[in-house]
Structure 1
Amino acid sequence: LPTTPWTTNADGRGPAWSNSLFEDNAEFGLGFRLASDVHVQLERQRLTALRETLGADLIDQILAAPQRRESELAAQRDRVVELKH
C-alpha cells in the first residue's frame, strides 16, 4: 500500500494533508480556500463585536498581526492563548 510518512513537532503540529477521490485538485483546493476565507471573516466580525469586552489592545493586535512567517504565526498563537485566559 502507498503510505504518506509524517511526524509532529513538540506542540503536536504536523503537515496539513488531504486528498479527494471525487474532485480534481484545483476544485478541492478552492473549496478549502473558500472555507478558510469564510472562517477568517466570521472570526474578524466576532472579535470586532467583542472588542471592548475582551480588551481593545489585544483584539487590535490580533486583527492587525501579519501571519506569513513561522515566527509571526507563533506570536499570533500566543495572543490567542492570552485571549482564551
Structure 2
Amino acid sequence: IGAYAIGQGSLAASANYTVTYQGADLTIDQRPVTVTANGQSRLYGEANPSLTYTTTSLGAGAALSGTLATAATATSDVGSYA
C-alpha cells in the first residue's frame, strides 16, 4: 500500500504557452486474494495427506508462503476436521 507522486515527466508545450503543472498521487492498494482449501480424505491410522489449496486473483509472478494446518492426527477419531 502506498502513494506515489505523479510528476510532470516530459510533458511540455511550445514556446507559445506557459505550463503550470499541479501534481497528484498514484495510490496502490492491496490486491484481494481468496484462498480455498482443497478437500482431502484418508483412512484412520494413516498420515495426513498434503493439504493443498487454490487461489484467485494472486497476480502474475506472486506466490503465497507457508502451509495449511489441521488438528487431525493419525490417531484422530473418524470424522471431519477443518
Higher helix share: 1
Higher relative contact order (CA 8 A, sep 6+): 2
Q: TM-score w.r.t. structure 1 length? A: 0.21
